[in-house]
Each structure stands twice: as C-alpha cells, then as structure tokens.
A and B are shown apart, each in its own frame.
Chain A
C-alpha cells in the first residue's frame, strides 16, 4: 500500500480524496482540465429513478465562507445515467466510481441501487437519505433512525456492493441514526451532507433562493463536520467518510484524525476546479510537516 492509500470497504484507493456528489458532475467535465485518475475515486451526481429538472432558479446564494444551493437533484434518471453518462465517464476514468443515489420512496432507492449495483464501473453505492419521504409526510428519511434503516435494508437486499449511507447533519442525534444504519447492514457512513440554510436579499426583502432554503456548504461548516465525524466514528464499527467544507490538505488530515477513512471534497471544486488535484499534490508536504508516514495510520487518531 502507498503512503496515501486507504482501504474503503475492501477496495484500496490510491488516496482518500473523493470529490463529493453534486460538485463533480459525471467527471468528464473535469477530465478536460486534469487527469481525474489521480483521484481516490469520486461520487457522481445524485441519481434518482426518474429524470428530474430540480428546483426553479435562483438556486445559488453566497454566504460568508460558503454557499447555499437548492439544485434539487437535477439528473437524467438512472437509465440514462447508465446508457449515456457512464460510457462517457469510462473514456476518462479507469477506477471504480462511487454511485450516489437519492429517492423519495423506499422502493425507488432499491430500484435505482439495484440497477447501478450491476454496473462494472461502480465500486460503491452512496445512498443519500437527506431527501424528503413522500410517503412519510415529506420528512427526510435521514432524520429518523427507523426511516434511514428501512432504506438501508431495502437497498442491501438487492445489492452486492458496499453500501455507504450519506447522512444529513440536520438532526438532533446523528449517532442514533448512524447506529441504526449500521445495524441495518450499512457498510460505511458518509457525512455531513449540507446544512439547511437561508439568505434574504435586503433590497427585495425576499429569499435569495427561489426555493427559500437550501443546503449550506463550504469552509464555514467544516468544524461541524469534524465534530460529527468524530462522534459517529467513535460510535460505529464501520468506516466513516468525512466531508463538509474540506478545502486543503490540512483539512483532510484533520478529518482523518477525527475518524474519517476517506474524505470527500465538495464546494471547493466549484471555486477552484483543480481543488482535488491540488490537495492530492499537497498531501505529502503536509504529511511530512506533521510527521505522518502513512495516512491510514492516522485514521481516528484523536481519542
């Protein structure tokens, strides 16, 4: 194993850097800029059973050290992802990719995961449970241990690849939800998804975002993410992928010390399209500075 490599649910990845879903499309846009095979892997655009346009615009608002987005899971639907997006990706990425799946009903999750599980290119299934449950009064699956566990059981029943559950931070007890997912058979946990936020335009006295609220991401949420990664990784016995405001190699080390086996990078890709490549290039320098021989040695180093 290389000094940067880590083992994520039985698959060794060259480094722990994973562009987060929704900030990296299906990879090929970024492949025009740099060789994306330098990445550990990446999590592709959140995919649902049916095609979605998403929310009305404006979908984006700036914040201090971050941004709010309310894209609303725009994607072409799982069939087109398999028939159009994955073939394009295979031309520029020769590693296993992480499939990111969303749904609005338990059977939808199972349907989408089952199809993506059969794709050779897919290494992991990252299941986003932050979406509203249309049959559960619109409450997010991820805010209830029972609802989250139900999604995990349904997905695990129809798939063979590692299932990573991506958790929402907008809950009172993240540990209870993570434990419920572990008990239901999840192979790993990733967190944190965006935090619910809102901005108001003083001139118009209206919300900046058409959908009023959206997901807050960027460096401002990093301390919250570190805290939740620390809490969850100490409570479960499955790997945790840390994300939330990671912007530099130092942030990656901090996330791993908190308990992350791998680290996703989101909003930073939108500001600096080379962010993930730059972080990977800078990791050896920062490791040397802090006396780290191998990244896998520091996972959960903070007790």
Chain B
C-alpha cells in the first residue's frame, strides 16, 4: 500500500451516471488486476474504495457510478484537480488458474476490474471471452474496449434492449476453462450456482479503512474469517460461504 497525491487527467461521462477517471501519480504499488484504490474526498470522512480498471507506470484508470455524495463529488471534479489516494489495496485475481479459455463475467460497475484482467490474459495468449451484463442498452459501456483487446465479447441486457436478453449467466461461451467475475451479489450467487468450472469472484462491502485494520468488512469463508479489503476482494469459488 502507498499513499500518494494524484492529478486528474480525464473525467468523462460514459453513460448517464457512470464516469471514467484517469489519475496521474505513483502507481508502483498496483501489482495485480482486481485490486482497488481508496480515495479521500474533501469534507467526507471515509475514503471511497474504487476498483482499478487499468493502470500503467504513470496513471491509473477507474470507472465509477454516481450512487451517493462521494461519487457525485468525484463526477464534478475537473482535469488538474488532485486527490489523496491509497493504492495497491486488495489481493487481486490469480491469473495462473485461468486455463486456455477463461470467461470473464461482469455486471454493471463490476465490469471495470475485468478490463485489466482481460488485457493481461490476452498478453499471455489466452482465448478470452467476456460477458458484460447491464440492465438496459443505455447503460452499456466498454464493449468496444474489450473488443479492441481481442476478446470475444457478448453483451446481455435484462430488458433485451441490446445484445442477449437476460443475465450474464444466459451467455456462457462453450468449453470455457475457468471464470472470473465481478458484479452485484445476486449476480455472483447466480454465477456460483451455474458456472460449470472453478473460478474467482470479487466482492464488495462497506469499508472503514480499506487496508485491513478495522475489521469493518469481514466475511466468513470455508478458509476462516477474511477481510474483503485485505484478504480479498477476490475469493476462490471453493472458499466462498454464502451467509443465507
């Protein structure tokens, strides 16, 4: 983990309430796909944890949905503004288990962390399929970006206004070797039940610190108690213990 000041170089609208922000600063502690950063905002006490969508030596890209006062404040920031950010948080996805034909299943703002994962898997020469799930056509983002990486992309919408009608679980590719997923909990549960291979899931929870100190985001797993921020957010399918 590292604390640093980052300068906004881009903050643009992707859909009605989803924004893409690029932050320039020291990214040396971001070491795995699926990690997150924790952003301090003026006048708000707790930091905002947001997953890393992409990252290079000098900048980190995040995609966030405006859901409350913090993300609303972020959406109003402009190029050149600075943010105090903790980087390199969370474990991230383990790429070594992917097999040759992994499928990446993302729902809504669960899509962004899969982008960097897809990029890395493609670099390793994997045949990557991506299923992006949204409620409706207006909410769709990053389809072209995943295609540009050379992934096979399927979009699903709940109302059928774009792509395959239904959920990501209606669009598994054939003969996939492993799955990686991130999205709302009902979607994760559905993937857990329907996927025919092993895989990894990224979880979300209200966090206090984001770096393992406060025990605010603990969950029970088959491997014992884990902190979603520090021991997660990514868990293996085999260790997940659903509470209800």
Contacts and interface: CB of A to CB of B under 8 A. Distances in A.
By CB atoms of chain A within 10 A, which of B47, B208, B218 has the most?
B208
Interface stretch (B38-46, B51-59, B188-196): B38-46
Contacts of A57: 205-206, 216-219
B214 A273 contact: no
Contact of B1 (A66, A218, A271, A273): A273
Interface stretch (A21-29, A103-111, A141-149, A151-159): A21-29
B206 A61 contact: yes
A273 B209 contact: yes
B243 A53 contact: no
Interface string A38-80: 0000000100000001101111111111110101001000000
Contacts of B218: 53-54, 57, 59, 71, 74
A23 B213 contact: yes
A33 interface: yes
B3 interface: yes
A30 B209 CA distance: 12
Contact of A29 (B205, B208, B211): B211
B46 A33 contact: no
A271 B211 CA distance: 10
Interface string B29-72: 00000000000100011110000000000000000000000000
Nearest to A58: B206
B225 interface: yes
B212 interface: yes
Interface residues of B, number: 26
B214 A270 contact: yes
Contacts of A71: 214-216, 218
A69 B213 contact: no
Given A53-B218, A273-B1, A29 B45 contact: no
B220 interface: yes
Given A270-B208, A271-B40, A60 B216 contact: yes
Contacts of B1: 32-33, 273
B86 interface: yes
A269 interface: yes
A298 B214 CA distance: 32
A54 B68 CA distance: 27
A60 B46 contact: yes
Interface string A273-289: 11000000000000000
A33 B220 CA distance: 27
Contact of A67 (B205, B208, B212): B208
B182 interface: no
B185 to A, nearest CB: 11
Nearest to A74: B215
A69 B217 CA distance: 11
B225 A60 contact: no
Given A53-B220, A57-B219, A63 B214 contact: no
Given A67-B46, A271-B40, A60 B207 contact: yes
8 nearest interchain CB pairs?
A270-B209, A60-B216, A58-B206, A74-B215, A62-B46, A60-B208, A60-B206, A71-B215
Interface of B: 1, 3, 40, 44-47, 86, 205-209, 211-220, 225, 230, 243
Interface of A: 22-25, 29-30, 32-33, 45, 53-54, 56-67, 69, 71, 74, 208, 218-219, 267, 269-274
26 contacts: A22-B214, A29-B211, A29-B230, A45-B215, A53-B225, A54-B215, A57-B206, A57-B216, A59-B215, A60-B46, A62-B45, A63-B45, A64-B45, A66-B45, A67-B45, A67-B46, A71-B214, A71-B218, A74-B218, A267-B45, A269-B213, A271-B45, A271-B47, A273-B1, A273-B213, A274-B3
Given A22-B215, A30-B213, A208-B206, 12 more contacts: A23-B214, A25-B213, A29-B230, A54-B215, A56-B243, A58-B206, A59-B206, A61-B206, A67-B46, A219-B45, A272-B3, A273-B3
